[in-house]
């Protein structure tokens, strides 16, 4: 576990702060990669046990609902909470920070519990809507799995809040390692009971893993000396600030998730196989986006939030510039190498059976185009975390609206020019424009406020 970082060591050299952020990025990225590898092994084992039949269809559809709530509602919690936690600790002391944290813990647990209960109550309508062509027996299995896995939704709200506290104290290794528990537990469950109990073991593994994640996150916070029970003391200014910062993050997360659906829907208009080509061609990017931008954002946010709380913009900017050079030196060569070896990668992963050589060429071209998004996505993730650190998340509403318009417009323009490859290139243009827009707004905001603090 990482030791808690001393924010008040302001006299440390710029290079040390930048290197610490870079080392933290590698730590988070490494553990995120471990989680993704464990998840891939779980998928491979499940495929060998259950194939591509009705059981897996039922599990995957059932998993959509809890995954949606966890991604949309629990996922943005850390970016909204960490800056306010650090500000409360820096300016008002530990007691103020604990009061804010326990109030957010109560809110996050209650919000996701209500969402889970509503989904359970509406499952009789949700499941047929998602699995419209399923048989009656398959629908019943899907609903059973959904009801079981909804348990992890409120637990995810608690886990994300606890991990935000850990990250605010630079406990990056512990916080990043905890999410690997669920795929590992699922693999154990499949090995122990997959043949006997079927796909139900996947759902049980998901619930058991989510529960263990919550327990371990709670234990990490307890080790730091924090209370672990929620406590509601009414709406305060700090809690209102977290709420105002949280809502735009939910909006931008929803837009980014929905853009994939728009891409696939427009690809379907290009003819047979286009949706599959786009899906295969962007799969590698999807994995890298989970690892790279997540690691960058998680590592940078506490450092920049501390600089904002201490009103030290010059030190923060210097450290950030050096850090960006480190990241560019890592991401740009990696992107170029992946683009160069794109076709061999596709050939190794997919070219067998019904996957022809012609399909390999097309998927590799889509993959090359999509990989151009990687440096821009890392940059955009960094800008979003800076926006959170400076408590200016209201800007994200504009970025979300801009992304929606650009997704529809540029997808249509580029696909008429280059077909399915054009949709991947449109994503590059969207990320570039969004990043430039947000960077200009951040610069203007910083200039007008003469520092890192933003007007609410």
- 179 pLDDT tier (thresholds 50, 70, 90): very high
Task: Kindly state whether residues 140 and 171 are assigned to the same domain.
Answer: yes
CA distance 119 to 66: 9
How high is the pLDDT of residue 336? 94
Longest dimension (CA), the chain: 67
Task: Kindly state whether residues 264 and 203 are assigned to the same domain.
Answer: no
CA distance 327 to 410: 28
Contact 70/108 with Cβ under 8 angstroms?
Answer: no
- 71 pLDDT tier (thresholds 50, 70, 90): confident
| 25 in any annotated domain | yes
Q: For the chain, how are helix, strand and coil distributed in percent, rounded to 5?
A: 85, 0, 15
CA distance 249 to 256: 11
Q: 239: how many CB neighbours lie within 10 A of its CB?
A: 19
Q: Which two tokens stand for residue 247?
A: 């809502």
Contact 379/373 with Cβ under 8 angstroms?
Answer: no
Task: Kindly state whether residues 314 and 388 are assigned to the same domain.
Answer: yes
Q: Which two tokens stand for residue 289?
A: 């986006």
Task: Kindly state whether residues 453 and 426 are assigned to the same domain.
Answer: yes
Contact 368/431 with Cβ under 8 angstroms?
Answer: no
| 336 in any annotated domain | yes
| Of the residues 205, 234, 263, the one at which a domain ends | 234
Task: Kindly state whether residues 204 and 262 are assigned to the same domain.
Answer: no
Task: Kindly state whether residues 353 and 414 are assigned to the same domain.
Answer: yes
CA-wise closest residue to 165 among 210, 118, 99, 117: 99
| 3 in any annotated domain | no
Which residues, at least 6 apart from 35, have a Cβ–Cβ distance to it below 8 Å? 176, 179, 180, 183
How high is the pLDDT of residue 125? 92
Measuring CA to CA, how many Å separate 291 from each of 33, 74, 133, 271, 287?
A: 6, 18, 35, 32, 7
Domain count, the chain: 2
More confident residue, 427 or 360: 427
Task: Kindly state whether residues 219 and 310 are assigned to the same domain.
Answer: no
How high is the pLDDT of residue 311? 66
Q: Which residue has the tokens 């006299």?
A: 11
Which residues, at least 6 apart from 220, have a Cβ–Cβ distance to it below 8 Å? 1, 162, 163, 166, 171, 174, 175, 178
Q: Which residue has the tokens 């813990």?
A: 105
Measuring CA to CA, how many Å separate 95 from each of 41, 112, 144, 179?
A: 43, 26, 44, 29
- 339 pLDDT tier (thresholds 50, 70, 90): very high
CA distance 275 to 113: 35
How high is the pLDDT of residue 372? 93
pLDDT for residue 174 is more than 70: yes
Task: Kindly state whether residues 286 and 389 are assigned to the same domain.
Answer: yes
Tell me the average pLDDT across 166-174: 92
Domain span holding position 44: 12-234
| 66 in any annotated domain | yes
Task: Kindly state whether residues 257 and 404 are assigned to the same domain.
Answer: yes
| 4 in any annotated domain | no
| Of the residues 234, 266, 298, the one at which a domain ends | 234
Task: Kindly state whether residues 204 and 295 are assigned to the same domain.
Answer: no
> Can you give the three-state secondary structure of 391-438, one letter per residue?
CCCCHHHHHHHHHHHHHHHHHHHHHHHHCHHHHHHHHHHHHHHHHHHH
More confident residue, 11 or 221: 221
| 126 in any annotated domain | yes
pLDDT for residue 216 is more than 90: yes
How high is the pLDDT of residue 118? 95
Contact 421/369 with Cβ under 8 angstroms?
Answer: yes
pLDDT for residue 456 is more than 60: no
| 240 in any annotated domain | no
| Of the residues 206, 234, 262, the one at which a domain ends | 234
| 2 in any annotated domain | no
Tell me the average pLDDT across 368-386: 88
Task: Kindly state whether residues 75 and 205 are assigned to the same domain.
Answer: yes
Q: What is the pTM of this model?
A: 0.80
Name the least confident of 92-101, 171-180, 317-326, 437-446.
Answer: 317-326
Q: Which two tokens stand for residue 55?
A: 């059981």
Conformation bin of residue 266: beta by default, left when phi > 0, alpha when psi is -120 to 50: alpha
Task: Kindly state whether residues 289 and 319 are assigned to the same domain.
Answer: yes
Per residue in 280-327, pLDDT (tens digit) is 788 888 888 878 878 887 888 887 777 777 766 555 566 667 777 878
Per residue in 217-264, pLDDT (tens digit) is 999 999 999 999 998 888 888 888 888 888 888 888 887 777 776 787
């Amino acid at each position: 576990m990482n030791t808690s970082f001393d924010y008040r060591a302001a006299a440390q050299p710029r290079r040390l702060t930048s290197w610490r952020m870079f080392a933290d990025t590698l730590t988070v990225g490494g553990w995120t990669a471990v989680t993704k590898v464990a998840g891939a092994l779980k998928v491979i084992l499940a495929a060998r046990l259950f194939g591509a039949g009705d059981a897996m269809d039922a599990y995957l559809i059932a998993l959509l609902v809890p995954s949606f709530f966890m991604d949309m509602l629990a996922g943005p919690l850390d970016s909204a909470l960490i800056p306010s936690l650090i500000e409360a600790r820096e300016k008002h002391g530990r007691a103020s920070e604990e009061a804010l944290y326990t109030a957010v813990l109560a809110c996050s647990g209650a919000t996701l519990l209500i969402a889970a209960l509503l989904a359970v109550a509406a499952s009789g309508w949700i499941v047929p809507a998602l699995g419209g062509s399923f048989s009656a027996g398959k629908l019943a299995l899907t609903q059973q799995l959904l009801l079981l896995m909804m348990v992890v939704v409120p637990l995810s709200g608690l886990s994300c809040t606890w991990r935000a506290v850990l990250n605010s104290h630079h406990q990056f290794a512990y916080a990043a390692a905890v999410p690997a528990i669920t795929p590992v537990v699922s693999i154990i469950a499949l090995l122990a009971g997959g043949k006997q109990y079927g796909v139900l073991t996947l759902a049980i593994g998901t619930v058991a893993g989510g529960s263990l994640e919550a327990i371990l996150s709670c234990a990490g916070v307890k080790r730091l000396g924090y209370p672990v029970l929620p406590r509601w003391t009414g709406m305060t200014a700090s809690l209102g600030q977290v709420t105002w910062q949280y809502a735009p993050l939910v909006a931008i997360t929803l837009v980014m998730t929905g853009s994939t659906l728009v891409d696939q829907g427009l690809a379907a208009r290009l003819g047979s196989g286009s949706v599959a080509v786009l899906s295969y061609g962007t799969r590698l990017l999807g994995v890298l986006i989970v690892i790279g931008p997540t690691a960058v954002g998680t590592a940078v946010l506490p450092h920049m939030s501390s600089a904002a709380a201490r009103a030290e913009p010059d030190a923060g900017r210097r450290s950030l510039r050096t850090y960006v050079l480190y990241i560019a030196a890592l991401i740009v060569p990696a992107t170029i190498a992946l683009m160069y070896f794109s076709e061999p990668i596709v050939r190794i992963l997919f070219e067998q059976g019904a996957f022809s050589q012609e399909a390999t060429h097309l998927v590799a071209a889509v993959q090359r185009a999509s990989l151009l998004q990687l440096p821009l996505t890392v940059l955009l993730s960094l800008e979003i975390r800076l926006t959170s650190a400076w408590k200016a998340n209201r800007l994200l509403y504009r970025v979300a609206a801009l992304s929606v318009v650009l997704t529809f417009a540029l997808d249509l323009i580029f696909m008429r020019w280059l077909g399915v490859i054009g949709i991947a290139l449109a994503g590059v243009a969207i990320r570039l424009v969004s990043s430039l827009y947000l960077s200009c707004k951040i610069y203007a905001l910083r200039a007008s406020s003469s520092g890192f603090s933003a007007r609410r």
